[in-house]
Chain A
């Protein structure tokens, strides 16, 4: 039952964090100069609309009461109305969520496909030229802003060579696969640089470990050593790292969606900012935070499942 206890403890720790996340999002709009009702309803709102908003958010009440209203409304899925979309914030977000989800998962798969084999090649040739070349290329990759990588791919592979579409998200699974390939690749080139570095280090660590030396000494074939010991251990640290870099991944998605005009949450966030659509900004910020904390939780649970030592701490 230690496992169940761990899960419950982990979930309990999420409660104060979530309340603080809500406080931060609540304060964002309250810190705006001027009347929050105008910020929330837009400049063109009528007096009656403003009065209705003041009533609903309790803007005449003390700050704590206002927060309680915001908190309970949010828990019920009511994030307010978007000024620019003229519908409820939650419906706009739910409509765009699948595209960003697809993009993020696609990017993760691509970065594993890129970083995995290259990390193995680098680690097995430690200090020799393949290692040096791979590490240098990825070091340069890490210094490139995501929007710049995206712009280069967009210009050469989409605009010049016309291998890929220059924007949009496509229909159906294969349509999305085709339309979102370049945007995902853009994020993947960045995240794979982070993964490659750590994966290489952890493969080297396992290769040097005593149990691998023992396996080698007792004459296990190289294929078995790599497959059974090195790969499995390297996988654990890689998935943990992937989980912890979900924030980077989401930041990258936001930028890449803007470069490739992908109708996802990130592009929506920028449109909302330029339209001063504060309810939508609040809703999106919350959505990103929820996505990250779900991934953090899954990473933790995955780790505790594979590594029983984690549960004791």
Chain B
């Protein structure tokens, strides 16, 4: 009997139990299932899609949902379900590619200015102030206006604006960590700056940044599909949720399903990332 008590008490301290703890929370679990399934759809769309997303059938144009076409067909007779499924590849890619470069650049710059402070930090502060003075979408759109529409240019534009938010968070966290004894110990021991920053401060300071990253992935899908809808992101005939909604817009009173269904995919995926983000925030918050 006492053995069982001891092992259970032990396992709650083991690193693995954090994951078990997280999976016991319904929100995190639902989020993980949504994102897991979305990733499968994104990686193997042809396996799940019932038809070729670009197969045009002029004899079956704008058909309402049926057993043969659960989401109906679009203005060219393409199967709407297959197009929504194939869009997972682009939209899930957005969640990664629109955030990962901003994350890397932001974390590096944030850690450096947080560690060295001085003039670089002062300039950094002004740059942050200036960039957050622009509404996010306005600055991204202005950069897209210069670079031209398209997915890759959209990623560049979002990265140019988005790194600031990661850098600001990282800087604050590094400064907070510098107050700890281990940081002073590293300095006293004569470790190189690079070793202190990247081996010691960064792993300790990264938690809130990772939590923000999850939220940002949800935002990236919202932003990417908005740009697609506005005609500045992915370009038709590429299957992307925002583009699909824009294509259905002209038939919205007669073929409402064309715009409705891709939107539901956006909401579910966005919800998945936010739920994981909320779960991680609870999980990684220092206890006690």
User: Taking beta carbons and an 8 Å cutoff, which residues of A are in contact with B?
Assistant: 13, 16-17, 20-21, 23-24, 28-29, 31-32, 139-140, 142-148, 151-152, 154-155, 159-160, 246-251, 254-255, 258, 269-270, 272-274, 276, 278, 281, 284-285, 288-289, 292-293, 296
Contact = CB atoms under 8 A, between A and B. Distances in A.
A285 B142 contact: yes
A255 B228 CA distance: 12
A289 B259 contact: no
A251 B138 contact: yes
Which of A148, A152, A272 has the largest count of B CB atoms less than 10 A from its CB?
A148
Interface stretch (B10-18, B124-132, B205-213): B124-132
Contact of A143 (B126, B256, B274): B274
Contact of A247 (B130, B135, B146): B135
B245 A17 contact: no
Looking at chain A's contact residues, the main secondary structure is helix
A141 B68 CA distance: 31
B253 A155 contact: yes
A255 B129 contact: no
B226 A255 contact: yes
A258 B126 contact: no
A140 B231 CA distance: 25
25 contacts: A17-B126, A28-B146, A29-B146, A140-B267, A142-B274, A143-B218, A145-B229, A146-B226, A147-B242, A151-B249, A151-B259, A159-B252, A159-B253, A249-B135, A250-B138, A254-B137, A269-B138, A270-B141, A273-B144, A273-B145, A273-B232, A274-B231, A284-B138, A285-B138, A296-B133
A49 to B, nearest CB: 22
A28 B146 CA distance: 7
Contact of A254 (B130, B135, B225, B271): B135
B127 A139 contact: no
A32 B225 contact: no
Interface string B175-188: 00000000000000
B143 interface: yes
Interface string B84-96: 0000000000000
Interface residues of B, number: 42
Nearest to A160: B253
A151 B145 contact: no
Interface string B150-181: 00000000000000000000000000000000
A54 to B, nearest CB: 20
Which of B229, B242, B253, B260 has the largest count of A CB atoms less than 10 A from its CB?
B229
Contacts of A269: 138, 141
Given A145-B229, A147-B229, A285 B267 contact: no
B120 interface: no
Nearest to A292: B133
Contacts of B231: 274
B222 interface: yes
A246 B136 CA distance: 10
**Which 6 A-B residue pairs are closest in the complex by CB-CB distance?**
A143-B270, A251-B137, A20-B130, A250-B135, A247-B135, A148-B263
A292 B137 CA distance: 13
Contacts of A249: 135
Interface string B228-244: 01111000000000100
